[in-house]
Amino acid sequence: MAAFKGLALELQDIDTQHKPDCFLALNPAGTVPVLDDSGEIVCGSEEIVRHLSAVAPIDRNLDLESNAAWEWHDYANSVLGDGTKQWVFQHRDGSPDDLDEALMARCESNWLASLAFVESKIDEGGWLAGPQPSLADCAVFPRLALGLRYGLPRLDTYPSLRAWYESLARSKVGLRASAWVTPK
């Protein structure tokens, strides 16, 4: 969202297994993400989106209000996000010998079903929720980038999704949204 709005953010990774005291001081619930906007603490992705929408002007026509955009936001957080998060935590925080194979199989199955679903929904204009970029694109893109970064299957068999992803990944917005993105 911040990248689509042209905002600079200082991102800080935290160990979600062992949350540092400085993080818990910002957000005693310990949930992520958290935005510290000059001392104003905003917790949760939906709240952060709404906060950034209110405080930052935007230089492009970005749909943040339609039902379709919010449905994609919810999909990215729940269906796509949960499976991706489980996969990433297992691969990032554990040793390859300690992976929960049943969980990894469920995550990969969820990922593939999500890719097929997103592929089927990309509209003729190349965006997820209409003829212009929207909250949908802001929400789905970083989750796909994260999953790809941590070894979930590639986009090779999803041509519309792959074209959408590569277009965003190569753009100024995509590069800011996910600094680790390398289009494949």
Asked, for residue 54, whether it belongs to a domain, the answer is no
Asked, for residue 12, whether it belongs to a domain, the answer is no
- Residue 58's pLDDT is what? 55
Q: CA–CA distance from 59 to each of 53, 56, 94, 124, 176 (Å)?
A: 12, 10, 41, 23, 15
Asked, for residue 51, whether it belongs to a domain, the answer is no
Asked, for residue 184, whether it belongs to a domain, the answer is no
- Residue 180's pLDDT is what? 47
Q: How many Å apart are CA 86 and CA 104, to the nearest integer?
A: 8
Asked, for residue 9, whether it belongs to a domain, the answer is no
Our count of domains for the chain comes to 1
Residue 108 structural domain: 67-177
| Domain harbouring 112, CATH code | 1.20.1050.10
Q: How many Å apart are CA 106 and CA 50, to the nearest integer?
A: 32
Q: In this predicted model, what pLDDT tens digit does every residue of 74-92 receive, in sequence order?
A: 888 888 888 888 888 888 8
Nearest to 142 by CA among 16, 18, 33: 33
Asked, for residue 86, whether it belongs to a domain, the answer is yes
Q: Which of 52-66, 116-130, 150-164 has the lowest mean pLDDT?
A: 52-66
pLDDT at 181 over 50: no
Asked, for residue 30, whether it belongs to a domain, the answer is no
Residue 75 CB neighbour total at 10 angstroms: 20
Asked, for residue 17, whether it belongs to a domain, the answer is no
Q: In this predicted model, what pLDDT tens digit does every residue of 127-166 receive, in sequence order?
A: 888 777 777 888 888 889 889 988 999 999 999 999 999 8
Buried b (16+ CB within 10 A) or exposed e, 121-150: bbeeeebbbeeebbbbbbbbbbbbbbbbee
Q: Can you list the alpha helix ranges (DSSP code H) found in 42-181?
A: 45-55, 67-75, 81-93, 101-121, 135-149, 159-170, 172-177
- Report, as an integer, the average pLDDT of 20-49: 86
Mean pLDDT of the chain: 81
